[in-house]
Chain A
Amino acid sequence: MDTRFTRGKSNILERPLTRPKTEVSVSAFALLFSEMVQYCQSRVYSVSELQQRLADMGQSVGASMLDVLVLREKNGKRETKVLNILLFVKVSVWKSMFGKEADKLEQANDDDKTYYIIEKEPLINAYISVPKENSTLNCAAFTAGIVEAILTHSGFPAKVTAHWHKGTTLMIKFDEAVIARDKALDGR
């Protein structure tokens, strides 16, 4: 932990966190991401391991993103309700990362713990062609990691996985306790 509080070599803590105006080109991101995928691929033996590695990297992105977004978009207030945090992900998180809202947010018919965020053409996958022998591979596992970190760090522990369904679907499975708490809050 001590590394988080190093003496400032830079003025990073003095800088304002207001909305940044800087933009980079999508090609720059696509090329960087492709290198990341290849790097991960060179160190794993299976598709699921590869996805796990991408998700891990996404997690560290999500954790940083959350604080910045809560401060900018929510005046520092965190969400306490499941539906609100999901909408926060669908709207605020997506807009700031990908410039648009996620296409759809749905709840599973048969399970109150499970939700889906559906994206027809996710930016992450725009330049990736999935090889036939690894047809389950979905590099949106990276996005899933981001979402998982955002939910978990907001106090909604969940598992998020990426699937090929109506484009790319992120399946969010909340912990039992999260849903129980949400119902208790409703009951009051």
Chain B
Amino acid sequence: MSRQSNRTTDSKKMNAELFTLTYGALVTQLCKDYENDEEVNKQLDKMGYNIGVRLIEDFLARSSVGRCQDFRETADVIAKVAFKMYLGITPSVTNWSPAGDEFSLIMESNPLVDFVELPDNHSSLVYSNLLCGVLRGALEMVQMAVDVKFSQDTLRGDNVTEIRMKFIKRIEENLPAGDE
């Protein structure tokens, strides 16, 4: 806990390339370890979830963001604060569903995919699927169940990268232990 004192709210930055390449090495390894792309996607999502669960604490501690009033505010915080803080990019928030429970994050650039070209035999690999897991895990920790998936990806020839997020439900707090 003695570290608390020298920690600033401003998070330290590093070269994005090492991050990109490290992520690439991980995906490459997963492709070797698993038989098909679906399994790799699943594993990436799982690892992302684990990261998200821990990342939300880091995020809440560093940013002065309070509780979001609605899903629109959540979307703004994710795009303008969280993505900026961790990946150095600011995706735009668009394509709201009429009910306001669904939106898209459009990324012009995605730091995870610099240098990356998908070989033809991995056409169903969702390369950046880790991000979906991160978003899902982080939001779950603030009592929001969401569905997150890639609906467009520049790696597959789309013009932009789009993450579609759908609010499912608010997770009830204070469940008694052992209760479903």
> Chain A residues in contact with chain B, CB under 8 A?
3, 6, 8-10, 12, 20, 22-29, 31-33, 35-36, 38-39, 43, 53, 56-58, 60-61, 64-65, 68, 96-99, 123, 142
- Are A64 and B18 in contact, CB atoms less than 8 angstroms apart? no
List 15 interface pairs A-B (beta carbons < 8 Å), by A numbering.
A3-B119, A9-B156, A20-B114, A24-B19, A27-B86, A28-B55, A28-B87, A29-B19, A35-B47, A35-B50, A38-B50, A58-B25, A68-B17, A99-B14, A123-B14
Q: Knowing A22-B111, A96-B17, A97-B15 touch, does A29 contact B22 (C-beta < 8 A)?
A: yes
Binds A, one of B26-34, B64-72, B94-102: B26-34
Q: Knowing A32-B23, A64-B24 touch, does A25 contact B154 (C-beta < 8 A)?
A: no
- Are B157 and A10 in contact, CB atoms less than 8 angstroms apart? yes
Candidates B19, B29, B157; contact of A32 at CB < 8 Å: B19
Q: Knowing A9-B117, A9-B118 touch, does A24 contact B22 (C-beta < 8 A)?
A: no
B7 shortest CB reach to chain A, Å: 11
Bound: A36/B18 CA distance, A: 14
Please indicate the chain B residues that have their CB under 8 angstroms from the CB of A6 in the complex: 117, 119-120
Q: Knowing A35-B47, A56-B29 touch, does A26 contact B117 (C-beta < 8 A)?
A: no
Q: Knowing A28-B19, A29-B19, A36-B26 touch, does A22 contact B88 (C-beta < 8 A)?
A: yes
Bound: A99/B15 CA distance, A: 7
Candidates B86, B111, B115, B155; contact of A9 at CB < 8 Å: B155
Please indicate the chain B residues that have their CB under 8 angstroms from the CB of A9 in the complex: 117-118, 155-157
A29 shortest CB reach to chain B, Å: 5
> Chain B residues in contact with chain A, CB under 8 A?
11-19, 21-26, 28-29, 33, 43, 47, 50-51, 54-55, 58, 85-89, 109, 111, 114-121, 130, 154-157
- Nearest residue in B to A40 (C-beta to C-beta)? B29
- Are B47 and A39 in contact, CB atoms less than 8 angstroms apart? yes
- Are B24 and A60 in contact, CB atoms less than 8 angstroms apart? yes
Q: Which 6 A-B pairs have the closest CB atoms?
A: A3-B119, A57-B25, A22-B16, A23-B13, A26-B12, A61-B21
Tell me the interface secondary structure of chain A in the complex. Answer: helix
A93 shortest CB reach to chain B, Å: 10
Please indicate the chain A residues that have their CB under 8 angstroms from the CB of B23 in the complex: 32
Q: Knowing A27-B11, A27-B55 touch, does A33 contact B16 (C-beta < 8 A)?
A: no
Bound: A98/B18 CA distance, A: 8
Please indicate the chain B residues that have their CB under 8 angstroms from the CB of A123 in the complex: 14
Bound: A32/B128 CA distance, A: 13
Given contacts A57-B25, A61-B18, 14 further A-B contacts (CB under 8 A): A24-B13, A24-B14, A25-B12, A26-B13, A36-B22, A56-B29, A60-B28, A61-B21, A61-B25, A64-B24, A64-B115, A96-B18, A99-B15, A123-B14
Q: Knowing A20-B17, A60-B28 touch, does A27 contact B58 (C-beta < 8 A)?
A: yes
B119 shortest CB reach to chain A, Å: 4
Please indicate the chain B residues that have their CB under 8 angstroms from the CB of A56 in the complex: 29
